[in-house]
Amino acid sequence: MTGMGQFVQFTCQPGDAGKVKEFLQEKVRTIDVPITGCVAILHGGCSRYTRYDITQHDYAGGGGYIEVLEIKNPPDGRCSIVIYEYAVGSAASFTEWETLEQARAAFVKVWGVSRSSEESAKFPGFKRLVPCGALTPWFYAIGDEALIGDYAFPQGLQDDPVYRVGRKFVVTVDDVPVLKTCMGTRVVEEKASAMSSTKGIHRCVYWDDGSVWKEGKYNMGGPPIPADEGHVWIAEAVQQFRKLIAGGSTEFTLNFTDGNKFVGKVVQPKHKNPCAAGDYRLLIKVAGEEKSREGWVNEFSPTPEATDPIQFARTKFAEKGKELEYAEIKEVKNKKGGKKWSGVFHGRTS
């Protein structure tokens, strides 16, 4: 019973029960229990809470666990079918799927396989892979935790004068500068090493990709640097490169402060068919027909399945059981603001 007479139930080590009971009676007035959701998702002998209505369809454990989850009430149009994987000592991640049947079929093939998340991309229905690292995926949010991107805002994070939430930093990863966004900071007390009896206080900074930077812990690249005007080019380079490989442009230029320039450009082989978004007039010859056909493929936009209008036409005729013996592009009307080429990256470009 708390100091105000509220009955609560708790678990602790047997030897600490008296201390905890005394603390509750003398120091605690009331306890507000957050609404932690519809179900507790079982993981072997333990469980994990969520505020969403989730059904666990498949589960396998051993040094971690992997599970197929169906979220019945996903917010903001988020994907409702995921495979979540957590491995002890390794980075957690989840993959999104088109249907529950496709996710369950992939689960049978990948559980117990090394790098199973990466292997998932080979199966039908796969949408994307989201690394979690030390962050909690959005579907395991509890109470009133805010959702930031693919993650639940971590509990217990502290304000920090330097590592503020939402501030961008340049972090050195394997000698390469990477731009990351701070998700918050924890101040922890930890031994300097396993053999040391001296404890020190240092910060753990959580980034938007799930990684953690520990102050004073094996940081060969030095501390993160706030992304001021001198480092904005990193964000610009990433944004422009993503746009290019997604087909949004064919070249980009970066101007460095010392006057040098970096120019990135896509060079297509001469024999390659045009593939920019737009309208195409085609001349085709269908197998078994005496005369050629001519017509327009309107509002074409390259996709992974049809990277150019001729491939698009071949696919459409194949669906009808027909084969093209010949196909030629006779006229092109490019779409203003459309994709400039087929691209090699079909994820988000922002």
Q: Give the bridge partners for 64, in sequence order.
A: 87
pLDDT digits (tens, 9 = 90+) for 270-307: 666 788 888 999 999 999 888 899 999 998 888 877 88
pLDDT digits (tens, 9 = 90+) for 304-338: 778 888 889 998 898 889 899 889 899 989 888 78
Q: What average pLDDT does this structure show over 20-28?
A: 87
Within 16-160, where are the H helices? 17-27, 100-110, 116-119
- Residue 93 parent element (H or E): strand 92-97
- Token readout for 220 is 């060969």
Confidence (pTM): 0.52
As a whole number, the mean pLDDT across the chain is 80
Determine the Cα–Cα distance for residues 245 and 243; give it in Å rounded to an integer.
6
Residue type, 35: I
pLDDT digits (tens, 9 = 90+) for 120-137: 888 999 999 988 877 889
pLDDT digits (tens, 9 = 90+) for 162-178: 888 778 888 877 777 78
Phi and psi for 280 in degrees, rounded to 5? -130, 130
Q: Are 232 and 223 a contacting pair, CB within 8 Å?
A: no
* 347 — pLDDT class (breaks 50, 70, 90): very low
Range list of β-strands (E), 153-304:
168-173, 176-191, 199-207, 212-214, 225-226, 251-255, 261-265, 278-286, 293-300
Residue type, 92: A
Q: Are 178 and 150 a contacting pair, CB within 8 Å?
A: no
* 12 — pLDDT class (breaks 50, 70, 90): confident
Q: Are 205 and 211 a contacting pair, CB within 8 Å?
A: no
Higher pLDDT among residues 350 and 308, named by residue: 308
DSSP string, 300-349: E---SS-SSHHHHHHHHHHHTT--EEEEEEEEEEEPTTS-SS--S--S--
pLDDT digits (tens, 9 = 90+) for 234-265: 667 777 777 777 777 888 887 776 678 888 88
pLDDT over threshold 60, residue 34 = no
pLDDT over threshold 90, residue 7 = no
- Residue 57 parent element (H or E): strand 54-61
Look-up of token digits 């992974």 = 304
pLDDT over threshold 80, residue 158 = no
> What's the sign of the alpha-carbon dihedral 23, 26, 27, 30?
positive
- Token readout for 241 is 């490169």
- Token readout for 190 is 């930890």
CB atoms within 10 A of CB 305: 8
* 45 — pLDDT class (breaks 50, 70, 90): low
pLDDT over threshold 90, residue 138 = yes
Q: What average pLDDT does this structure show over 88-95?
A: 78
DSSP string, 264-285: EE----TTSPP-SSEEEEEEEE
